[in-house]
Homo-oligomer: A and B are copies of this chain.
């Protein structure tokens, strides 16, 4: 673990946009982190491009009929107030405890997040008014859609806390990267190392794919034996 935390600045975001979540999980696993992929969060359409941003968390608990009411939407501790607190570029991460029959956000809240330039939204629950949400163009990863409002199953309790989402621990400020394979958490303390290794890992895997396309067999190629490594290093020298 690096002592000094690397910042997720514009350059880091640009780098991570070119790295698959598959590569990121491989790198983190080599560092001992096997549990960084948010279960149950798929993109809501299949053209979704990769999105990167710092985590901004929302926490829900189960509904209690006296607390989870449409009236509660006007309370100072509401999803509305939380959205107004999101910094530009933040990635909303919502702990819905996997609840699939109450939609955490619909078109109005997603439209407002777009206005506030949120990077995207990921939840282990579902959204509602899917057609409206698709219309806002907010990048969303979730378990699907359900018509009922959040208060049918959930009570909102706060934001900017450490949460669980899809079986993963998410701390405000961790980096979220999401693509067609779902959403991955890069803990803040690991960002520097991951950035260093990610680009090289992507280049190497790209070269291996091209070797497979040329007809190379897998053993010795992936993972690379000494001979293949030498060939790859030679190719890198030529192409850099």
Contact = CB atoms under 8 A, between A and B. Distances in A.
Interface residues of A, number: 89
A17 interface: no
A227 to B, nearest CB: 13
Nearest to A128: B22
A18 to B, nearest CB: 13
A65 B131 contact: no
Contact of A103 (B42, B80, B162, B181): B181
Contacts of A163: 61
- Copies of this protein in the assembly total 6
Given A67-B169, A152-B29, A218 B109 contact: yes
A149 B29 contact: yes
A129 interface: yes
Interface string A198-226: 00000001001100110101110011010
B189 A66 contact: yes
Contacts of A81: 218-219
A62 B35 contact: yes
Contacts of A32: 32, 65-66
Given A70-B29, A80-B218, A145-B182, A65 B108 contact: no
Nearest to A20: B129
A175 interface: no
Contact of A66 (B1, B70, B146): B1
Interface in A158-187: 161-164, 167-170, 179-182, 184, 187
* Consensus secondary structure, chain A interface: mixed
Interface of A: 1, 20-22, 24-26, 29-30, 32-37, 39, 42, 60-67, 70-71, 73-74, 78, 80-81, 83-84, 97, 100-101, 103, 106-109, 111-112, 115, 128-132, 144-149, 151-153, 155, 157, 161-164, 167-170, 179-182, 184, 187, 189-190, 205, 208-209, 212-213, 215, 217-219, 222-223, 225
28 contacts: A20-B132, A20-B147, A22-B106, A22-B149, A25-B148, A26-B149, A29-B70, A29-B152, A35-B62, A35-B63, A37-B147, A39-B101, A61-B169, A63-B169, A64-B169, A66-B190, A74-B219, A80-B222, A84-B218, A101-B167, A107-B205, A112-B212, A115-B215, A130-B181, A131-B181, A132-B209, A147-B181, A155-B169
